Amino acid sequence: MIISLRETADRLMAANSLILTAHVNPDGDAIGSCLGLKYILETLGKKVQVIIDDDLPKFLSIMPGIDQIQKPEADNYEADYLVILDACLDRVGTLPLKCKAPILNIDHHGTNDNLANYLYLDADSAATAEIIYRLAKAIGVKFDRDSATAVYIGLATDSGYFKYSNTTPQTMRAAAELLETGIKPETISEAIETKDYTVVKGMGTALQTLELFADGKIAGIFLDYELTSTLETTEGFIDLIRVIDGVDVSVVLKVVEPEVCRVSMRSKQTDVSKLALRLGGGGHKRAAGCTIKKPFAEAKQYLIDEIIKSLGV
């Protein structure tokens, strides 16, 4: 059922206990939205747990409260709502099987499957964190530095530090108000962008796999299982190639299991959300992803063929 922002706020305020979760392979928006909403709800006296079915990226260690996020280790969880943020049901792992509470889904991905009991979707928001900002305003909770930091990181990372096309005047106004709590954007960006020597070396290794297709309109980094297993993270890899002159669609494909490949896509003109949806994933017009359950070489060829079809070349 599609519900309004006001109805979403009312359901959250009426609940006593909530479990918050987000997609596997969580990013700044997923974690920032979870922790931002956690702080907001705890201000109202709610019992809140954040449970994510995956490892958390090291680069987000600056996020206040990230050490309170758990993995779903119990067999049964009870709550008034299971709140899924920044994703639809099929991207959050095992938690919906372990928590039978009604599902309240808050998302900004236009490809959301609308399978939750209650869905608030705003595809015009730059980030789910921008929705959390508006929820706080609707509920009447003021931001402190911890909640502001979490929501700001979600906004900043999903908008490419306010340089992607999803950045709107509303995004900038929200960020400005969050900065008024005293958080330091330079401290946040420096902490998030700082990388270990091994990560930078890994970037160099990954770039050795760079290939161009379709007369330079497609750029891709392709990491087989052996190479992926040597890398601490692939965060930021796609940003290394999306800037190549003439490239419209950039992709990073990595093998996470022998016949399971995760794909990230960015574009300048092509609607990659439609492509990702066709491949069983989802996302936005300019940033999307999917999982291809094929061996590395087969998945790579399949992906490139599908992108070429989308380009019409």
- Interval 3-46: pLDDT, tens: 999 999 999 999 999 999 999 989 999 999 999 999 999 999 99
Q: What CATH number is attached to the domain comprising 271?
A: 3.10.310.30
Which residue range forms the structural domain that includes residue 134? 5-192
312 pLDDT above the threshold of 80: no
What pLDDT, on the 0 to 100 scale, is given for residue 99? 95
32/181 same-domain check: yes
pTM higher than 0.85: yes
**CB-based contact 104:82 (threshold 8 Å):** yes
50/153 same-domain check: yes
235 pLDDT above the threshold of 80: yes
How many domains does the structure of the chain reveal?
2
Cα–Cα distance between 26 and 92 in angstroms, integer? Answer: 9
244/285 same-domain check: yes
Instruction: Report the candidate in 230, 223, 281, 207 with the shortest Cα–Cα distance to residue 255.
Output: 223
313 pLDDT above the threshold of 80: no
222/243 same-domain check: yes
What pLDDT, on the 0 to 100 scale, is given for residue 25? 87
166/215 same-domain check: no
129/243 same-domain check: no
Domain boundary among 151, 168, 192: 192
248/136 same-domain check: no
57/94 same-domain check: yes
**pLDDT grade for 266, boundaries at 50, 70 and 90:** very high
pLDDT 10s digits, 54-111:
999 888 999 999 999 999 998 899 999 999 999 999 889 999 999 999 999 999 998 8
188/201 same-domain check: no
Q: In the chain, pLDDT over 90 holds for what percent of residues?
A: 89
pLDDT 10s digits, 192-205:
988 889 999 999 99
168/76 same-domain check: yes
